[in-house]
């Protein structure tokens, strides 16, 4: 089953093979983008066919393979080139551009598909005996190098442990509002099972269709409705983890004072401490009503102040997403072609009228507001928020705009695939800070990225939005678009990434709000959490994984690097 499912997905991009972002239905996009960047007239950088990639042979010897075949059936061991290609990279710009440039310096020697905990235990024992690195993998949607194979010199080989066979819902408890499921279950599979019983997890990251419960927990994921439901660490009741030293099961309790919270040790551990096999989560009844709408503010300052006011009044929307002016222009440029000519005329006159009223294209900012819950509470929230933000000159664009965002909220990664065909640098990075440091963070990071563009002598733009909001602060999600020099894409992205990361830490933001650490953020993690914390993580790693086989090179420095 897994073999056929993986063949339906783009190994070189995002999502299903036969799905793309239909830019021909959005006639304003290319003219808008070409006003800002010298985009090539025609696409020229296409992904290769699998047969065009030459891979080194597997390093697993016959005696080692015989032991492996005693653990797993033949059908759950993949050594063919296609499966090894599929499991080489995640979904970051660095990953996808290396695929198009046909760069595969490291590939897994095999891909393993266990379907129970006993097989995971035996695989880890086998790998420990033979010093084989093991990379646990869920949906493979990491955008920070979290699933890349980077074995140390001491490792004989590296295998990927794909957990897609562990996808069962084990229990839904309607009395306690909890559910337990295996770690390899995908977002749609878990949500469908919960919905049938009248519940939801409320966790909808942009990667929802392909990412897994275990992956969410391993990376401290945040969903698009996190302002109401929380990030994944707020949903976890208990975790079961298979380590090389044994099984670690945290107790399924709503709260306890029996020392440190070991759930939090494994939430965000990115597979370096153990393989998450099952998770118990807090679930909610399906909302009686969902209300999504949009507002326009005359400038970003007014929008930010309004968002802060909403959240600090404890109004708790499900979604609150505020785009800065440059991103707002892209939101309007991506609008679909109206069905009738008269609708297009009305749309254009409406935009001119808004500009005349003070919502100019260079300054305006759009807010997507989503409310979920009981019908009466949603009605009260809707009225209260509308009244509150009127003082910030918010113009109500209406439910159709909000509903359109909701329908297409998982589509943006498909657009990236289209832009990569033109060899555009398309990437995101995200951070968070308290409200008092919001503006320095926003300005410093944008300035650092723009300065990096100038140093590299490449044209580029950067824009941002708020999408996960708290009483004390907010996340900031930056989107970068640039035209790199052909042949220098990777080194130029590395330069920009360094500049942005240094700016984030300088101002006091976090190096990652919800994407995790992986390979890409690892150089900065010690400066954020401090050397004593890194040393403690190293000691925990040594205790649970003494042979250092689990997901090497991610999250924390290797002991021998100190």
Find tokens 């019983």 and name the residue: 197
Tens-place pLDDT, residues 470-486: 999 999 999 999 999 99
CB-CB contact of 483 with 37 (8 Å): yes
Confidence of residue 558 (pLDDT cuts 50, 70, 90): low
- What is the rounded distance in angstroms from the CA atom of residue 187 to the CA atom of residue 33? 33
pLDDT digits (tens, 9 = 90+) for 80-136: 999 999 999 999 999 999 999 999 999 999 999 999 999 999 999 999 999 999 999
Q: What is the mean pLDDT of residues 450-471?
A: 98
pLDDT at res. 562: 42
For 479, phi and psi rounded to 5 degrees? -120, 130
For the segment 19-38, the average pLDDT, to the nearest whole number, is 95
Tell me if 213 sits within 8 A of 232, measured CB to CB. no
Band of residue 348 on the pLDDT scale cut at 50, 70, 90? confident
How far apart are the C-alpha atoms of 317 and 330, rounded to whole Å? 24
In order of start, what are the domains of the chain with their CATH numbers? Answer: 2-25+32-165 (3.30.43.10), 169-285 (3.30.465.10), 289-409 (3.30.70.3450)
Q: What is the pLDDT of residue 358?
A: 87
Q: Can you tell me which residue has the tokens 């609008």?
A: 335
Region 22-36: mean pLDDT is: 94
Judged by average pLDDT, the poorest of 107-111, 342-346, 504-508 is 342-346
Report the pLDDT value the prediction gives residue 559, as an integer from 0 to 100: 40
Are 52 and 101 a contacting pair, CB within 8 Å?
Answer: no
pLDDT beyond 50 at 560:
no
Using CB atoms within 10 Å of the CB of residue 411, give its burial: 0 to 12 exposed, 13 to 18 middle, 19+ buried.
Answer: middle
* DSSP characters over 168-186: -EEEEETTTTEEEEETT-B
Is the pLDDT at 2 greater than 70? The verdict is: no
Mean pLDDT of the chain: 95
Q: At what angle do helices 438-456 and 489-507 cross, to 10 degrees?
A: 150
Alpha carbon distance 255, 233 (integer Å): 13
Q: Cα(440)–Cα(424) distance, rounded to whole angstroms?
A: 28
Of residues 337 and 325, more confidently modeled? 325
Q: Convert the pLDDT of each residue in 57-66 to its tens digit.
A: 999 999 999 9
Q: Kindly tell me if the per-residue pLDDT of 7 is higher than 70.
A: yes
Across the range 444-454, mean pLDDT stands at 98
Q: How far is CA 558 from CA 279, 302, 548, in A?
A: 27, 46, 8
Instruction: Report which of 156, 197, 272, 181 is spatially closest to residue 543, judged by C-alpha positions.
Output: 272
pLDDT at 338: 78
Condensed to tens digits (0 to 9), the pLDDT of residues 276-299 reads 999 999 999 999 999 999 999 999
* Cα–Cα distance, 418 to 407 (Å, whole number): 20
Q: Which of 336, 358, 357, 359 is nearest to 347 (CA)?
A: 336
Q: What value does the mean pLDDT take over residues 505-528?
A: 96
- What is the C-alpha end-to-end distance of the chain, expressed in Å? 44
Strand order in the sheet with 246-249: 169-173, 178-182, 275-282, 236-243, 246-249
Model pLDDT for residues 373-412, shown as the tens digit of each residue = 999 999 999 999 999 999 999 999 999 999 999 999 999 9
SS (H, E, C) 387-447: HHHHHHCCEEEEHHHHHHHHHCCCCHHHHHHHHHCCCCEEEEEEEEEEHHHHHHHHHHHHH
Q: State yes or no: pLDDT of 561 exceeds 50.
A: no
pLDDT of 458 higher than 70: yes
Residues 246-258 have a mean pLDDT of 93
β strands within 14-109, DSSP E: 77-78
Higher-confidence residue of 502 and 340: namely: 502
What is the predicted pLDDT for the residue at 47?
A: 96
Q: What is the per-residue pLDDT for 1? A: 55
* CB contact set of 73 (below 8 Å; sequence gap of 6+): none
The rounded percent of the chain whose pLDDT value lies above 70 is 98
- Taking a C-beta distance cutoff of 8 angstroms, is the pair 267, 214 a contact? no
**C-alpha pair distances (Å), 344 with each of 10, 42, 254, 337, 347:** 35, 27, 53, 7, 5
């Amino acid at each position: 089953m897994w073999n056929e499912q993986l063949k339906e997905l783009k190994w070189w991009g995002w999502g299903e093979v036969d799905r793309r972002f239909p830019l021909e239905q959005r006639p304003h996009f290319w003219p808008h983008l070409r006003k800002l960047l010298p985009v090539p007239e025609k696409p020229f950088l296409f992904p290769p066919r699998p047969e065009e990639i030459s891979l080194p042979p597997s390093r697993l010897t016959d005696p080692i393979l015989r032991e492996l075949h005693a653990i797993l059936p033949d059908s759950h061991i993949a050594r063919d080139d296609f499966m090894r290609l599929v499991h080489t990279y995640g979904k970051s710009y660095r990953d996808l551009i290396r695929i198009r440039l046909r760069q595969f310096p490291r590939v897994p020697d095999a891909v393993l598909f266990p379907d129970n905990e006993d097989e995971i235990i035996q695989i880890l024992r086998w790998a420990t005996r033979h010093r084989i690195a093991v990379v646990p993998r869920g949906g493979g949607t990491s955008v920070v190098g979290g699933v890349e194979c980077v074995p140390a010199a001491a490792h004989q080989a590296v295998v990927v442990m794909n957990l897609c066979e562990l996808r069962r819902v084990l229990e839904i408890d309607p009395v306690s509002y909890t559910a337990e499921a295996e770690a390899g279950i995908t977002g749609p599979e878990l949500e469908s099972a919960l919905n049938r019983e009248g519940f939801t997890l409320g966790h909808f990251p942009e990667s929802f269709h392909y990412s897994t419960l275990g992956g969410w927990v391993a990376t401290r994921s945040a969903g698009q409705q996190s302002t109401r439901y929380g990030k994944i660490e707020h949903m976890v009741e208990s975790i079961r983890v298979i380590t090389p030293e044994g099984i670690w099961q945290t107790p399924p309790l709503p709260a306890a004072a029996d020392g440190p919270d070991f759930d939090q040790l494994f939430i965000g551990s990115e597979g370096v401490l153990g393989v998450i096999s099952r998770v118990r989560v807090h679930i909610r009844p399906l909302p009686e009503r969902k209300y999504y709408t949009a507002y326009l503010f005359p400038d970003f300052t007014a929008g930010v102040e309004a968002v802060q006011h909403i959240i600090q009044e404890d109004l708790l929307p499900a979604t609150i997403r505020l785009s800065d002016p440059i991103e707002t222009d892209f939101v309007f440029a991506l609008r679909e072609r109206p069905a009738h000519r008269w609708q297009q005329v009305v749309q254009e006159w409406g935009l001119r009228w808004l500009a005349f009223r003070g919502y100019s294209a260079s300054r305006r900012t759009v807010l997507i507001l989503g409310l979920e819950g009981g019908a009466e509470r949603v009605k009260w929230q809707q009225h209260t928020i509308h009244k509150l933000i009127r003082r910030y000159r918010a113009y109500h664009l209406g439910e159709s705009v909000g509903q359109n965002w909701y329908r297409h909220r998982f589509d943006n990664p498909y657009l990236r695939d289209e832009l990569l065909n033109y060899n555009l640098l398309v990437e995101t990075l995200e951070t968070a800070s308290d409200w008092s440091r919001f503006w320095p963070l926003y300005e410093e990071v944008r300035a650092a990225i723009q300065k990096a563009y100038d140093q590299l002598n490449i044209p580029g733009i950067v824009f941002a939005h708020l999408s996960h909001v708290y009483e004390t602060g907010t996340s900031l999600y930056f989107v970068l678009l640039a035209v790199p020099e052909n042949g220098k894409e990777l080194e130029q992205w590395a330069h920009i990434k360094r500049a942005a990361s240094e700016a984030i830490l300088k101002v006091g933001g976090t190096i990652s709000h919800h994407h995790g650490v992986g390979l890409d953020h690892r150089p900065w993690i010690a400066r954020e959490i401090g050397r004593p914390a890194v040393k403690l993580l190293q000691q925990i790693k040594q205790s649970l994984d003494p042979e250092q086989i689990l997901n090497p090179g991610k999250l924390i420095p290797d002991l021998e690097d100190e």
